[in-house]
C-alpha cells in the first residue's frame, strides 16, 4: 500500500497550496469586506455602444 | 477610467459546444439505457456495444457537456467579476478548439476500443498528454486574467474556479501514470489494490472538483443574478469554499469499502465523507436562502425554477453521498443501481439544470434580446423534472430490490435467487429509466430550439464594451529589503514554505521506491498471466467488461456463497490496470475461472441468451472472426517486466510460441466438444483469461 503515501503527499501538497492561498487572501484583505462583493456583481455594466 | 471589451465570442462558442455535446452525450445515455433492457440494441458490432458506449456516455457528459459548460460559465464570469477581458484571445481559441479535438478523438478512440480501463479516466496516453496541455493553457489564461484584473477582491466564484483548476490538474496527472507499449495503448503504472486506490481517489475527486466546485462557482454568480439579490451570506460562501476544498480531497476511499483496502483508510474516507455534509449543505442553503423574498418570481421564471431544483438535487446528492459511505449502507448499495440513481440526481438535477439555467440566462444577454419563449422554457423545466423522477425512482427501486435479492437466503441456508433472476426482475425498471432519460433528453432539444430562436431574433455582441477604474497600487515597503525578509519573522509563511519543500523532496525520494518495491502480502501461488491470458485480459479491458462485471468479492456470506472465497489484495499484484469494477449488472467474475467448461464460455460469449435465457448481456460475434494481434505480445511482456512483473529474462522473445501452444490446447479441447475454431481467434485468448481468473489461490 505504498501508493497511499503518494496520494497523501499529493493531497497534502494541494492542501498546502490551498492553505497558502488562504493565508494570502487573509493578508491581502480579501475578506475584510464581506458585504459589498455580494452586492457588486449585481450591477451590470452599461451597454455603451451596441454597434461594435 | 479604463474602457475595455468583454470577449463574448469565446463564451458563445463554449455555449454552443455545451448544448451540442450535451445532446450527443445524452443520446448515447438513452441508447445504453435501453440496451440494458433490450440487448438486441447492441447491434452485434463492436462500436455500438454497451461496454464501449458506456465510457463514451460518461466521458461525453462529464468532459464534453459539463466541461464545456464550466468553460462557458467561467469565461463569462471571470471577465465580468474581474472587470477585464480574458488574458489572451489566442489562448482562449486554443483552449476551445483543443478541448473539442480531445472530445472527438476521445469518442473515436473509445469506440475503437482504446481504453485504459479506468472509469472516467478511460482516455489513452496521447490524449492524457493533450488534456494536460489544454488544461495548462486554460490555467494560464485564467490566472493571467486574475493578474490583470481591475477589481482587487476575488469574488467567491473565482475561488471555486481556482480550486477546480489546481486540483483537477493534480488528479489527472497522478492517475494517468501509465507505461505506453504502443503509440496509442499503455498499461497503468500501478497494479491491483494500489491502482484501485489511485483510481477512486481520482474518481471521487473528479466528481468533487470537476462536477461540483466549478458548479458552485456558477451557482454563486447565476443564482444572485437570476434572483436579482445578493447572495444570502457572502461570509458563509467564503467559509463554504475553504471548508469544502479542505475536506473533499480525503473522502475517496469510501468507494472501496469492504475491499482489500486497509481498514484505517476506509474509516478515514468515511469520516471525511460525513464531515462533508456541513459545507455541502451550507452551499445549498446559501443558494436557496438567496431567493428569499423572491419566491413569487420562482413561480414564473423558468431560470429560477431550474436553479431551485438544481440546488435541491445538490442537497439530496450530498446528504445521500455521506450516507452511502457508511459501511453498513454501502454493504447494500455498492454494485447496484442505487449508485446509478445517486449520480444521476447530481448529473441531471444539479449539473444539468444548472447548465440549462445558465444558458437561458446567458444567451438573451449576449444577443441583446429576451428569451424567445418563456413558456417553452417552462415546459422544458417540467419535462426535465419528470424525466429526473422517472429516471431516479426506478433506479432506486431496482437497487433496493436487487441487493435484497442478492442477500436473501432460504431457511435451509441456500441462496434463494440465481443471479439471473435478480436481473430479469429489474428489467422493467430499466425500461422506465430509459423513458425518464428520453424525456430529459427531449428537454434538451426544446432548449436548443428555444435558444436558436432567441439567437435569431437578437444581435450578437462579439466585444461587449465595459468601463472600470484601473487597480490602484497597494502600499509597498519604502525600500526593497533582502529577499529573505519575505519569510523572516513570519513563522507561518516560513513553516508552510518549508512544508512544501519537504513534501516535494519526499515525493521525489519516495515515488520510485514505492513503484518498484511491492510489499503487499505476497501469495506464493499467484503467478503472472501467460501471454495468451494477458492478451485475453486486454480484450476484457477493450470490450469494457468492467462496466458491468466486478472482480472483487467482498467478505459477506452471500457473496462468498455465490462467487467463492472473498478477494485478497495479494491476488491482484499483476493487474495493470485493476478491473474491480463498480457495478454488477452481471455477476462478479473474480472466481469465474474453472467454474464452467471452455465450451460454455465459447457459446455464452457468442449468444448469451441461448445459454442463460433472459440474460441482458450483448453478444460478441467479432471475437470469433478477428485474429488476435500477436505482433504486439513482445512489447506487452516487455512493458510488464519493466513494471516488475517477474517474467523470466528474454521471455518477450519466447512469449508468442507459448501463446500459440496454449491456444492450440484450448482449440483442441473445444474441438473434442464438437466446436471447431481456429486457435488464432480472439475468443480463445478471452477464454484463457476467464478460465485463469481467481484460480491461483487454489493451487
What integer pLDDT is reported at residue B268 of this predicted model? 85
Segment B128-144 shows an average pLDDT of 95
Q: Which of A6, A21, A35 sits opposite B174 (nearest CB)?
A: A6
Q: Do B514 and A6 touch (CB under 8 A)?
A: yes
Q: In B421-471, where do the E strands start and end?
A: 463-468
Q: CA–CA separation, B254 vs B200, rounded Å?
A: 9
Name the nearest CA neighbour of B394 among B356, B357, B330, B439: B439
Cell readout for B617 is 448481456
How close B328 comes to chain A (CA, Å)?
A: 24
CA distance A14 to chain B (A): 7
What's the gap in Å between the CA of B582 and the closest CA on chain A?
20
| pLDDT tens digits along B254-298 | 998 998 777 887 888 899 999 999 999 999 999 999 998 889 999
Q: How far apart are the CA of A16 and the nearest CA of chain B, in angstroms? A: 7
Q: Which residue has the higher pLDDT, A36 or B515?
A: A36
What letter does residue B415 receive in the DSSP assignment?
B
Poorest-pLDDT segment among A2-16, B94-108, B356-370, B568-582: A2-16
Distance separating alpha carbons of residues B258 and B553, to the nearest angstrom = 9
| CA atoms of B67 and B218, how far apart (whole Å) | 13
CB contact under 8 A, A38 and B234: yes
Pairing of strands B463-468, B2-7: antiparallel
C-alpha pair distances (Å), A45 with each of B15, B369, B416, B466: 21, 16, 68, 6
Please tell me whether residue B303 adopts helix, strand or coil conformation: helix
Cell 438513452 locates to: B30
**Residues 6 or more apart whose Cβ sits within 8 Å of residue B656:** B531, B630, B633, B634
Contact of B506 with chain A, judged by CB distance below 8 Å, is answered with: yes
Q: What's the pTM value of the predicted model, to 2 decimals?
A: 0.91
Q: Measure in Å the smallest separation between the Cα of A23 and chain B Cα atoms.
A: 8
Alpha helix segments (H runs only) across chain A: 3-27, 36-40
Query: pLDDT of B500-526, one tens digit each?
Result: 655 555 555 446 545 554 546 678 889
Distance, in angstroms, between B151 CA and closest chain A CA? 10
Instruction: Determine the pLDDT at residue B230.
Output: 94
Check pLDDT > 60 for residue B586. yes
Is it the case that residue B474 has pLDDT exceeding 70?
no
Q: Which of B198, B228, B503 sits opposite A12 (nearest CB)?
A: B503
- Specify the pLDDT at position A49: 43
* pLDDT 10s digits, A23-33: 888 887 788 88
CA-based nearest distance B43→chain A, Å: 41
Contact B496 A23 (CB under 8 A): yes
Residue of B nearest to A42 (CA): B225
Q: Are the Cβ atoms of B225 and A41 closer than 8 angstroms?
A: yes
Beta strand B178-180 with B186-188: parallel, antiparallel or unpaired? antiparallel
Q: How far apart are CA B350 and CA B356, in angstroms?
A: 10
**pLDDT of the residue at A10:** 83
Q: Which positions in chain A have a beta carbon within 8 angstroms of at least one beta carbon in chain B?
A: 1-7, 9-23, 25, 28, 30-31, 33-35, 37-42, 45-50, 52
Instruction: Please indicate if any CB of chain A lies within 8 Å of the CB of B507.
Output: yes
Q: By the CB < 8 Å criterion, does B368 face chain A?
A: yes
Average pLDDT over residues B29-35: 97
For residue B6, the cross-strand partners are B464
Instruction: For residues B317 and B344, give the distance between their C-alpha atoms in angstroms, rounded to a whole number.
Output: 9
Q: Are B666 and B533 in contact (CB under 8 A)?
A: no
Residue B128 has pLDDT above 70, yes or no: yes
Maximal CA-CA distance, chain B: 93
If one compares B571 and B511, the residue with the highest pLDDT of the two is B571
Q: Is residue B682 over pLDDT 70?
A: yes
Q: Please state, in angstroms and rounded to a whole number, the distance separating the CA atoms of residues B334 and B254.
A: 10
Best mutation target among A21, A27, A41 (most B Cβ atoms within 10 Å) is: A41
CB count within 10 Å of CB A52 equals 10
Residues of B in contact with A24 (CB under 8 A): none
Q: Round to whole Å and give the CA distance between B240 and A36.
A: 18
Reported as a pLDDT band with limits 50, 70 and 90, residue B331 is: very high
Encode burial over B308-335: b for 16+ CB neighbours within 10 A, e otherwise: bbbbbbbbbbbebbbebbeeeebebbbb
What is the length of chain A? Answer: 52
Whether residue B392 is predicted with pLDDT greater than 80 in this model: the reply is yes
- Give contacts of A13 with chain B, Cβ < 8 Å: 170, 500, 503-504, 507
Task: Give the chain A residue nearest B172 (alpha carbons).
Answer: A10
- Helix/strand/coil (H, E, C) string of B44-108? CCHHHCHHHHHHHHHHHHHHHHHHHHHHHHHHHHHHHHHCCCCCCHHHHHHHHHHHHHHHHHHHH
Question: Where residue B192 falls among pLDDT bands split at 50, 70, 90?
Answer: confident
Closest alpha carbon within chain A to B201? A7
- Check residue A6 and give its pLDDT: 80
Residues in chain B: 699
Contact across the interface for A9 and B517, Cβ inside 8 Å: no
Q: CB-based contact (8 Å) between B154 and chain A? A: yes
Contact B619, B598 (CB under 8 A): no
Q: Kindly state whether B414 is in contact with chain A, defined as any CB-CB distance less than 8 angstroms.
A: no
Q: What pLDDT is stored for residue B307 in this prediction?
A: 97
Mean pLDDT over each residue of chain B, to the nearest integer: 91
- Mean pLDDT, range B524-535, rounded to an integer: 93
Distance, CA of B137 to CA of B93 (rounded, Å): 10
- pLDDT tens digits along B455-470: 999 999 899 988 888 8
C-alpha cell at B103: 472530445
Longest dimension (CA), chain A: 63
- Angle, nearest 10°, between helix axes B353-366 and B213-227? 50
Say how far apart CA B576 and CA B187 lie, in whole Å: 6
**What are the φ/ψ torsions at residue A42 (nearest 5 degrees)?**
-80, -20
Amino acid at each position: 500500500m505504498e501508493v497511499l503515501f503518494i496520494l497523501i503527499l499529493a493531497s497534502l501538497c494541494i492542501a498546502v497550496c490551498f492553505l497558502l492561498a488562504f493565508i494570502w487572501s487573509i493578508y491581502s484583505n480579501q475578506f475584510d469586506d464581506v458585504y459589498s462583493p455580494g452586492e457588486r456583481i449585481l450591477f451590470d455594466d452599461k451597454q455603451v455602444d451596441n454597434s461594435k | 477610467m479604463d474602457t475595455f471589451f468583454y470577449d463574448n465570442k469565446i463564451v458563445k462558442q463554449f455555449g454552443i459546444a455545451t448544448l451540442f455535446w450535451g445532446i450527443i452525450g445524452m443520446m448515447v445515455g438513452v441508447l445504453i439505457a435501453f440496451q440494458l433492457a433490450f440487448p438486441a440494441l447492441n447491434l452485434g458490432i463492436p462500436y455500438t456495444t454497451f461496454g464501449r458506449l458506456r465510457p463514451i456516455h460518461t466521458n461525453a457528459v462529464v468532459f464534453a457537456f459539463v466541461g464545456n459548460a464550466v468553460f462557458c460559465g467561467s469565461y463569462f464570469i471571470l471577465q465580468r467579476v474581474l472587470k477585464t477581458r480574458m488574458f489572451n484571445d489566442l489562448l482562449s481559441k486554443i483552449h476551445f478548439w483543443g478541448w473539442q479535438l480531445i472530445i472527438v478523438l476521445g469518442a473515436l478512440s473509445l469506440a475503437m476500443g482504446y481504453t485504459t480501463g479506468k472509469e472516467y479516466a478511460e482516455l489513452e496516453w496521447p490524449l492524457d498528454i493533450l488534456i494536460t496541455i489544454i488544461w495548462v493553457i486554460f490555467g494560464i489564461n485564467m490566472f493571467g486574467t486574475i493578474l490583470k484584473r481591475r477589481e482587487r477582491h476575488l469574488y467567491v466564484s473565482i475561488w471555486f474556479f481556482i480550486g477546480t483548476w489546481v486540483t483537477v490538474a493534480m488528479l489527472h496527472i497522478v492517475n494517468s501514470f501509465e507505461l505506453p507499449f504502443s503509440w496509442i495503448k499503455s498499461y497503468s503504472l500501478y497494479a491491483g489494490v494500489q491502482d484501485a486506490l489511485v483510481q477512486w481517489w481520482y474518481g471521487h475527486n473528479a466528481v468533487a472538483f470537476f462536477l461540483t466546485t466549478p458548479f458552485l462557482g456558477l451557482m454563486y454568480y447565476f443564482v444572485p443574478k437570476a434572483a436579482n439579490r445578493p447572495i444570502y451570506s457572502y461570509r458563509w460562501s467564503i467559509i463554504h469554499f475553504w471548508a469544502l476544498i479542505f475536506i473533499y480531497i480525503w473522502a475517496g476511499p469510501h468507494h472501496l469499502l469492504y475491499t482489500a483496502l486497509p481498514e484505517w483508510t476506509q474509516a478515514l474516507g468515511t469520516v471525511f465523507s460525513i464531515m462533508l455534509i456541513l459545507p455541502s449543505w451550507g452551499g445549498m442553503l446559501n443558494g436557496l436562502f438567496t431567493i428569499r423574498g423572491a419566491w413569487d418570481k420562482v413561480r414564473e421564471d423558468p431560470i429560477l425554477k431550474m436553479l431551485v431544483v438544481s440546488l435541491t438535487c445538490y442537497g439530496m446528492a450530498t446528504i445521500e453521498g455521506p450516507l452511502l459511505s457508511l459501511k453498513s449502507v454501502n454493504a447494500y448499495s455498492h454494485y447496484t443501481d442505487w449508485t446509478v440513481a445517486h449520480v444521476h440526481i447530481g448529473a441531471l438535477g444539479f449539473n444539468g439544470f444548472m447548465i440549462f439555467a445558465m444558458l437561458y440566462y446567458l444567451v438573451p444577454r449576449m444577443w441583446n434580446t429576451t428569451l424567445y419563449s418563456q413558456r417553452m422554457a417552462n415546459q422544458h423545466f417540467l419535462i426535465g423534472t419528470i424525466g429526473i423522477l422517472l429516471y431516479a425512482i426506478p433506479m432506486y427501486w431496482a437497487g433496493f430490490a436487487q441487493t435484497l435479492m442478492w442477500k436473501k437466503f432460504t431457511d435451509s441456508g441456500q441462496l434463494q435467487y440465481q443471479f439471473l433472476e435478480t436481473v430479469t426482475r429489474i428489467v422493467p425498471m430499466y425500461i422506465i429509466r430509459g423513458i425518464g432519460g428520453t424525456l430529459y433528453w427531449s428537454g434538451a432539444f426544446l432548449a436548443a430550439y428555444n435558444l436558436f430562436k432567441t439567437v435569431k431574433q437578437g444581435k450578437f455582441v462579439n466585444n461587449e464594451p465595459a468601463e472600470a477604474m484601473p487597480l490602484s497600487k497597494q502600499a509597498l515597503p519604502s525600500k526593497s529589503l533582502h529577499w529573505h525578509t519575505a519569510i523572516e519573522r513570519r513563522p507561518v509563511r516560513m513553516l508552510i514554505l518549508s512544508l512544501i519543500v519537504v513534501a516535494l523532496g519526499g515525493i521525489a525520494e519516495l515515488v520510485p521506491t514505492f513503484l518498484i518495491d511491492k510489499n503487499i502480502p505476497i501469495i506464493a501461488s499467484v503467478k503472472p498471466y501467460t501471454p495468451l491470458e494477458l492478451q485475453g485480459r486486454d480484450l476484457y479491458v477493450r470490450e469494457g467488461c468492467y462496466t458491468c462485471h466486478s472482480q472483487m468479492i467482498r467478505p459477506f456470506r452471500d457473496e462468498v456463497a455465490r462467487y467463492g472465497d472473498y478477494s485478497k489484495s495479494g491476488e491482484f499484484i499483476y493487474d495493470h490496470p485493476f478491473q474491480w469494477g463498480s457495478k454488477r449488472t452481471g455477476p462478479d467474475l473474480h472466481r469465474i475461472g474453472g467454474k464452467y467448461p471452455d465450451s460454455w464460455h465459447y457459446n455464452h460469449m457468442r449468444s448469451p441468451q441461448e445459454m442463460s435465457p433472459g440474460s441482458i448481456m450483448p453478444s460478441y460475434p467479432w471475437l470469433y472472426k478477428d485474429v488476435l494481434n500477436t505482433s504486439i505480445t513482445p512489447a506487452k511482456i516487455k512493458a510488464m517486466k519493466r513494471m516488475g512483473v517477474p517474467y523470466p529474462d528474454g521471455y518477450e522473445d519466447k512469449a508468442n510460441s507459448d501463446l500459440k501452444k496454449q491456444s492450440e490446447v484450448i482449440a483442441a479441447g473445444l474441438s473434442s466438444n464438437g466446436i471447431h475454431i481456429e486457435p488464432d481467434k480472439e475468443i480463445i485468448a478471452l477464454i484463457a483469461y476467464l478460465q485463469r481468473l481467481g484460480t491461483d489461490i487454489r493451487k
